């Protein structure tokens, strides 16, 4: 395979020297040396910040710089949140992408689910019911995220996982600015329970059809006025 120019001396150096996740990288002073990157310390720092923003490198005071396992999530999340900050309506466009991705990988993902995964999804349904039916009603956003991501947790495809994780990060940022009545949340979890029952029965076609129906509920979800997002840092 021909080499790919990553438009970064640092990233090119990491790839060309075969660094693996967990490997310690040279210090900034070592990297700027002519026999390594041969660029100024300020440029090394600039490229390092880009690598950190993309989730490729971690920097800690005691252990130094290390290469992280590859994840598509940070790059997608950063770009998506920028798009949302410009126009919150971009969430609906990304949600449509997420829906198509889940449908496309549905059968492959369901076939990989273990009994432990299904038990975790059942726990999500129970916890969500408890929140929605309690004396003080709570919105089960964390259970919602866990339920869906569990379906795809065993896919060995970092790009699918990156899109789905970024979607749920964006959902957490956007959802407080949208209104859904109580009946909507009850309907969502009715679908989740039926989806899980179909998965447990090995009927992935029915589970997929229910998932598609469930996503269409969002089209009729009442919306409040869109507010500027208070984006989390990091």
Domain count, the chain: 2
Question: Considering 44, 67, 90, which residue would you say is the last residue of a domain?
Answer: 67
Look at residue 29 in the predicted model and tell me its pLDDT: 87
Decide: 48 and 59 in contact? Cβ < 8 Å.
Answer: yes
In a domain, 1, yes or no: no
Examine the domain organization and report whether 47 and 126 are in the same domain. no
In a domain, 228, yes or no: no
Look at residue 234 in the predicted model and tell me its pLDDT: 33
Examine the domain organization and report whether 78 and 44 are in the same domain. no
Look at residue 12 in the predicted model and tell me its pLDDT: 92
In a domain, 143, yes or no: yes
Measured CA to CA in angstroms, residue 123 lies from 134, 142, 143, 193 at distances of 16, 12, 9, 11
Q: What value does the CA radius of gyration of the chain take, rounded to a whole number of Å?
A: 21
Examine the domain organization and report whether 90 and 54 are in the same domain. no
> How confident is the model over 171-213, as pLDDT tens digits?
988 876 566 677 788 888 999 999 999 999 999 999 999 999 9
Structural domain range at position 62? 9-67
What is the rounded CA–CA span in Å between residue 112 and residue 67?
29
In a domain, 186, yes or no: yes
Burial class (CB in 10 A: 0-12, 13-18, 19+), 1: exposed
CATH number at residue 54: 1.10.10.10
Examine the domain organization and report whether 63 and 78 are in the same domain. no
Look at residue 59 in the predicted model and tell me its pLDDT: 87
CATH number at residue 164: 1.20.120.530
Cβ contacts of 5-12, under 8 Å, gap ≥ 24: 8/47, 8/50, 8/51, 9/37, 9/38, 9/39, 9/43, 9/47, 10/37, 10/44, 10/47, 10/48, 10/51, 11/47, 11/51, 11/56
Q: What is the pLDDT along the chain (234 residues), one digit of tens a residue?
A: 457 888 899 999 999 999 999 999 998 888 888 888 888 889 989 999 999 999 999 988 777 889 999 999 999 999 999 999 999 989 999 999 999 999 999 999 999 999 999 999 999 999 999 988 877 777 888 999 999 999 999 999 999 999 999 999 999 888 765 666 777 888 889 999 999 999 999 999 999 999 999 888 754 444 443 444 444 333
In a domain, 156, yes or no: yes
Q: How far apart are the first and last CA of the chain?
A: 34
Examine the domain organization and report whether 52 and 85 are in the same domain. no
Look at residue 162 in the predicted model and tell me its pLDDT: 97
Examine the domain organization and report whether 123 and 208 are in the same domain. yes
Burial class (CB in 10 A: 0-12, 13-18, 19+), 229: middle
Half-sphere exposure of 138 (CA within 13 A, CB side): 11
Question: Considering 48, 67, 86, which residue would you say is the last residue of a domain?
Answer: 67
What is the rounded CA–CA span in Å between residue 73 and residue 81?
12
In a domain, 207, yes or no: yes
Measured CA to CA in angstroms, residue 234 lies from 80, 81, 168 at distances of 14, 12, 16
In a domain, 3, yes or no: no
What is the rounded CA–CA span in Å between residue 224 and residue 128?
23
Its pTM stands at 0.85
Examine the domain organization and report whether 29 and 116 are in the same domain. no
Examine the domain organization and report whether 15 and 81 are in the same domain. no
Beta bridge mates, 3: none
In a domain, 233, yes or no: no
Backbone phi, then psi, for 66, in 5-degree steps?
Answer: -135, 150
What is the rounded CA–CA span in Å between residue 51 and residue 74?
10
């Amino acid at each position: 395979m021909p080499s790919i120019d990553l438009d970064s001396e640092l990233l090119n150096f990491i790839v060309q020297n075969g660094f693996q996740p967990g490997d310690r990288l040279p210090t900034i002073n070592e990297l700027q040396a002519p026999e390594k990157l041969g660029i100024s310390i300020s440029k090394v720092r600039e490229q390092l910040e880009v690598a950190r923003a993309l989730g490729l490198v971690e920097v800690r005071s005691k252990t130094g710089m290390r290469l992280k396992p590859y994840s598509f999530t940070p790059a997608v999340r950063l770009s998506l949140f920028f798009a949302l900050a410009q126009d919150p309506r971009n969430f609906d466009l990304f949600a449509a992408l997420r829906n198509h991705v889940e449908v496309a990988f549905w059968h492959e993902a369901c076939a990989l689910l273990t009994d432990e995964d299904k038990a975790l999804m059942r726990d999500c349904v129970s916890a969500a019911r408890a929140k929605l039916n309690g004396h003080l009603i709570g919105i089960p956003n964390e259970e919602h995220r866990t339920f869906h991501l569990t379906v795809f947790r065993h896919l060995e495809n970092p790009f699918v996982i990156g899109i789905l994780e970024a979607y749920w990060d964006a959902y957490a940022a956007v959802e407080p600015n949208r209104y859904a009545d109580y009946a909507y949340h009850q309907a969502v979890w009715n679908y989740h329970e039926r989806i899980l029952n179909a998965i447990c029965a090995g009927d992935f076609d029915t589970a997929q059809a229910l998932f598609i129906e469930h996503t269409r509920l969002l089209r009729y979800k009442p919306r409040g006025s869109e507010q500027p997002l208070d984006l989390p840092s990091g």
